[in-house]
Structure 1
Amino acid sequence: MNDHRRLGRELGLFDTDPLMGAGLPYWLPDGAAVRYALEEYVRDTERRAGYRHVYSPVLGKKELYEISGHWSHYGDDMFPPMELGSEQMLLRPSLCPHHALIYRSRPHSYRELPFRMAELGAMYRSELSGVLGGLTRVRAIQLNDAHIFCTPDQVAEEASAALGSIRDAYDAMGIEAARYRLSLPGPGGKYVADPELWRRSAALLREVLDESGVEYEAVEGEAAFYGPKIDVQITDPAGRESTLSTVQVDFHQPERFDLRYIGADGGKHRPVMVHRSVIGSLERAVAHLIEVYAGAFPAWLAPAQVVVLPVSEAESDRALQLVRRCRDRGLRAELATPDQGGLGARVRAARLVPYQAVIGPREAAADQVALRLRDGRRLEPRPADEVLHRIARQIESRGIGLLDENDRADRVQQQVRQAD
């Protein structure tokens, strides 16, 4: 079974140390490369979708979370206050109160709405030691979070677009949703006491789900304290289910923070706040990808995208030059030299790397590369610039496959040949 906790350590992606503390994993270089690729994807797609990125502090006064409702409804999951002189400061459990303040800091017209604000930001949860594990349950979380401030008649369209972004992201990562859940309040929970708020929010999310065509299940007791949400569920190899992505409609915090915009009538109006996380926490997203791919990530996510293998020491200088050319193109490339073993052994050691660029005497003399693919296919020697262009093009497309259709038509052999 592909357990990300074991694989993550074996593959050198992340680890933990007792001196850092439970639930606080650190990222090793290869894991950081996967995480950074996801961060780039998120920022790029959000920018294209009209989001503006911000940075906000991980600390806030206790008063901030009293206003937002987190302290009264979510305080058991927060770290205790830190006394700084006469002030009590808290590690934030969520980014939304900070984004509400950022929105409130400037006047807004209806012409500006929807105003889409995004951040890859840290938040902290006081999880009990018994539930911590690997990257899936941690105390320091890096969240792909966004908040859309919009007019009431824009809510359904914005929530629907957020759901579409989630589905696009899953296609790019090559993962599937186990199910979609409409998470509603349940008896006994700490929920905001406003029946009309819950009715309006739930009706909007049902509309979005119905129009999207996805099958979903309404589940009581899984809502956020301030409103219902769409949860996109994933399962691990053991069949355990967890939430990766969410879309939420929030009438509560705009009221609590007295958020306004100037309408077409010149009057002040209350915006609606749509919370949206496309890939959820980077920790949980990477944990799921590790278990889905067992380290053989899609090329755009792979820690090393190209490994360059000189056949003998005579080709080492040319191989090093190729590594530098790869890096100049933005590719993550490594060099596997002959002193690390024979060519076959080095190919096997690089079995998880999508592209293996072999340089023998003939290739070195002609500035060519004999490309091997992770799935065992080989291409005839080609000019190095052409090979790097094709690899870069495939990676930039963020496709799941190793070659585009033109490359497939150029295969020299359809059958898999054994490495030398």
Structure 2
Amino acid sequence: MHVTLPDGKVLELAEGATGLDAAAAIGPGLARAALAITVDGEERDLSRELPEGATIGIVTDRSPEGLALIRHDAAHVLAAALLELYPGIQISIGPSIEHGFYYDVLPPEGVVLSDADFPAIEAKMAEHIAADETFVRQVVPVEDALERYRAEGQRFKVELIEDLVRDADPDHPLETVTLYTNGPFTDLCRGPHAPSTKRIGAFKIQSLAGAYWRGDASREQLTRIYGTAFFKKKDLTAHLERLELARQRDHRKLGKELGLYHFSEAAPGSAFWTPSGTRVFNDLVGLSREMGDERGYTEVKTPQLYDSSLWKTSGHWDKYRDDMFLTATGDVATAAEEGRAIEPNMGFKPMNCPGHYELYRQTRWSYRDLPVRFSEPGLLHRNELSGALHGLLRVRQFCQDDAHLFVAEDQIQDEVTACLRFAQDTYRLFGFADEDFTYELSTRPENRLGSDEMWDRAEGDLRTALEANELPYVVHEGDGAFYGPKIDIQFHDSLGRSWQLGTVQIDYQAPERFDLTYTGADNAEHRPVVLHRALLGSYERFVGILLEHTGGALPFWLQPVHVALLTVSDRHADAAHAIAGRLRAAGLRVEVDDRTETVGRKIRETELGKVPLMAVVGDREADEDTLTLRHHGGEEDAPAPVADVVERLGAALRSRALSPAG
């Protein structure tokens, strides 16, 4: 038999050869390093036979797929350990994820898992890894698998198999399922797996969380056990060090320390912004407005609450209703007395799009008016599950730097390019470098609206814009919205994590659904195309990302306090407040600390607050009208006249400088 290697070379093997045989034929070193094999792009176990004519690739610890493979192995080892430690525990699913793996379980009655259990779990897992247990694949009849898991009392596994049978193509009913066994443990799994547990070089159980079975809040709440695994101990150590740094930079911790915002059960999932936090928030909104004005955007303001008819036209009433906050109009009290239910007929907006469509169609537009660029820092509400809420990164109420552009088809390319350049100009103001970004082009999904010709044109416009601007991008086949393709802008922060910030999307369907038109040069009506555009995303989420990226040391222009003046004694308060007035007149935000505390204590507290500049005001400063600025971190400038300090810092603020040095 013959198979083809990635370089095009044809490899001749004995009939019935496996993936391991192929690796050995290439070289003994590769056979020892092999973890799995790709067959025409599909990952498989090394022990499976190869089909004639396949294109193959060997997966090793150097392959992109390698880490995910052993993390999946580690999830199985975790489940095996839990079953031994906690007889009667119910196991459900255990996949690999971006930075590790997890397994969802339902502990026996009376057992509550906690961090204190981690050492015992890790010790039991280490036994299975040291035993070098082989992962054995079996294809068994559905009824045999059901009988097995019913006998073991593993009802989640039974439900998974029953659902697979139910959801199978009626023309090709499911007759078999795949099981994997390592040591005493057998799991329902599609695979693949590495040859044995020994390939898991280093691992760590990290945390616990709650998770509803099948993501359904009406079902059982399971315990999700998170862990991670690496090939080498040093890689695990480096990963854990990054996680510790991330914990130190957690925006929830920094937001509290810096006094920017807090959360309360009075409004779950909604931030209460303090005066300091509100300054930061308003500066971001002001930046969006200023830069939008310069680029031809017109700010609009649309309602919070809409009749269901609008949401039905947009499609959200059917597809997004469970994620919306709904309410009803009418005599609710009387209906309650009479025992009548009032169906919700209004919804708070989770996005601005339908409101902008409604606004657009209230005016007759000419081709001369296009592009029409509506922007709105719109307040939005989404009914996120309580377990999904996460500080500023996942909230129920947020404000988005949203915009919708109504353009003629021949304007799409120029406007997409302009959006991408707008994004770059915005990000540079926060000190983000161009190389910190990658771009994702998401193309037509299987379940889509519109013709192939439309998709060809739209995808081509986005691709051309990316290439014309020499932006690095990857293609995500089939990951576009149902109405059109999109570009997502990914930011890689100082800890190496990836965050989606901006997006540009092409929408041919909304103009049809909302009957949007403009009058062309031929005096006939034409459909515009809608471009959805956000650059920072939600301001809340962006603040969270920025805090973690900078460790709380925000750019100078965005700081809630630019300068702190610290008095030596009460007699210096008047001079400090007079200097503060001159700095404020230049637009700077200044605080005067004239408490009867020692200067040393004031300096320490100001440093902890990450105020970028401080200056002590004593006899010399009051008499000579000078300031000696001390930068956050300890560096100190030479004494300078207050007038010079005011001019220099005012210029740095006006130019949106990253640091007070300009």
What's the TM-score once normalised by structure 1's chain length?
0.89
How far apart in 2 are the matches of 1:207 and 1:74? Answer: 32
Tell me, in whole angstroms, the C-alpha distance in 1 between the residues paired with 2:389 and 2:479.
Answer: 20
Q: Does 1:184 align with 2:443?
A: yes
- 2:578 equivalent among 308, 313, 321: 321
Contact kept, 8 Å, 1:73 with 1:225, in 2: the verdict is: no
Residue 357 in structure 1 maps to residue 615 in structure 2: yes
The equivalent of 1:160 in structure 2 is 417
Shift of the 294–317 alpha-carbon distance from structure 1 to 2, 3 Å rule, reads same
Partner of 2:521: 264
What's 1:173 paired with? Answer: 430
Distance 1:318 1:136 in 2: 43
Look up the SS of the partner of 2:556 in the other structure: coil
1:212 CA displacement: 1.5
Q: Distance in 1 between matches of 2:576 and 2:410?
A: 59
- Cα deviation code 1:78-105 (max 9, x no counterpart): 23x3111298110112101111111111
Separation in 2, partners of 1:67, 1:258: 10
Q: 1:36 to 1:76 in 2, by over 3 A?
A: same
One-letter amino acid of the structure 2 residue matched with residue 223 of structure 1: G
Say yes or no: does 1:233 pair with 2:490: yes
The whole-number CA distance in structure 2 between the counterparts of 1:222 and 1:367 is 62
Decide whether aligned partners of structure 1 residues 359 and 145 sit closer, same or farther in structure 2, where only a CA change above 3 A counts. same
1:51: which partner in 2?
297
Q: Does 1:347 align with 2:603?
A: yes
Q: Give the match's secondary structure for 1:278.
A: strand
Give the equivalent residue in structure 1 for 2:254. 7
Aligned to 1:119: 376
| Aligned partner of 1:224 among 481, 499, 519 | 481
CA distance in 1: counterparts of 2:479 and 2:278, whole angstroms: 32
CA drift of 1:42 comes to 1.0
Q: CA deviation at 1:345?
A: 2.9
User: What's the offset of the Cα at 1:75?
Assistant: 2.9
User: Does the aligned pair in 2 maintain the 1:244–1:284 contact within 8 Å?
Assistant: no
Q: Structure 2 vs 1, CA of residues 128 and 235 (structure 1 numbering), >3 Å: closer, same or farther? A: farther
| 2:271 paired residue number | 25
Cα deviations by residue, 1:268-288 (Å, 9 ceiling, x for unpaired): 211111111111100110001
**C-alpha displacement at 1:230, in angstroms?**
0.8
1:224 Cα deviation (Å)? Answer: 3.0
Letter in 2 for 1:257: F
Cα distance in structure 2, aligned partners of 1:392 and 1:155 = 40
Deviation at 1:375, TM superposition (A): 4.3
- Tell me how far apart the structure 2 counterparts of residues 174 and 299 of structure 1 sit (CA, whole Å): 11
Aligned letter for 1:361?
D
1:31 is paired with a residue whose SS is helix
* TM-score of the pair, normalised by structure 2: 0.58
The runs of 5 or more residues in structure 2 that have no matched partner are 1-244, 331-341
CA shift for structure 1 position 350: 1.7
How far, CA to CA, are the matches of 2:295 and 2:463 in structure 1?
23
Q: CA deviation at 1:195?
A: 4.1
Give the conservation status (yes or no) of the 8 Å contact 1:306–1:355.
yes
Instruction: Give the distance between the partners of 2:631 and 2:494, measured in 1 at CA.
Output: 27
What residue identity is the alignment partner of 1:217?
V
For 1:66, the equivalent position in structure 2 comes to 312
- SS of 1:107's partner is coil
Distance 2:311 2:382 in 1: 14
Q: Cα offset for 1:53?
A: 0.7
1:380 to 633, 638, 645: 638
Among 282, 291, 295, the alignment partner of 1:36 is: 282
Per-residue Cα deviation, 1:360-388 (whole angstroms, up to 9, x for no partner): 21221232222222243333332222211
Larger RCO (CA under 8 A, 6+ residues apart):
1
Query: Which residue identity does 2:298 align to in structure 1?
Result: R
Offset of residue 239 of structure 1: 5.5
Determine if contact 1:92/1:124 at 8 Å carries over to the other structure: yes
Structure 2 distance, partners of 1:159, 1:14, is: 35
Q: How far apart are residue 403 of structure 1 and its match?
A: 1.0
> How far has the Cα of 1:295 moved from its partner?
1.6
CA contact (8 A) 2:445 2:481 kept: no
Q: What is the identity, as a one-letter code, of the residue corresponding to 1:4?
A: H
Alpha-carbon contact 1:355-1:372 (below 8 Å) kept: yes
**Structure 2 matches for 1:65-214, cutoff 5 A?**
65-79=311-325, 81-85=326-330, 88-175=345-432, 177-187=436-446, 191-192=448-449, 194-214=451-471
Matching residue's letter, 1:95: N
Instruction: Report the AA paired with residue 279 of structure 1.
Output: L
Tell me how far apart the structure 1 counterparts of residues 422 and 345 of structure 2 sit (CA, whole Å). 38
Aligned-partner Cα distance in 2 for 1:84–1:193: 36
Contact 2:442 2:478 in 1 (8 A): yes
Give the SS at the match of 1:26.
Answer: strand
Q: Contact 1:248–1:276 (CA<8 Å) still a contact in 2?
A: yes
* Candidates 562, 565, 588, aligned match of 1:305: 562
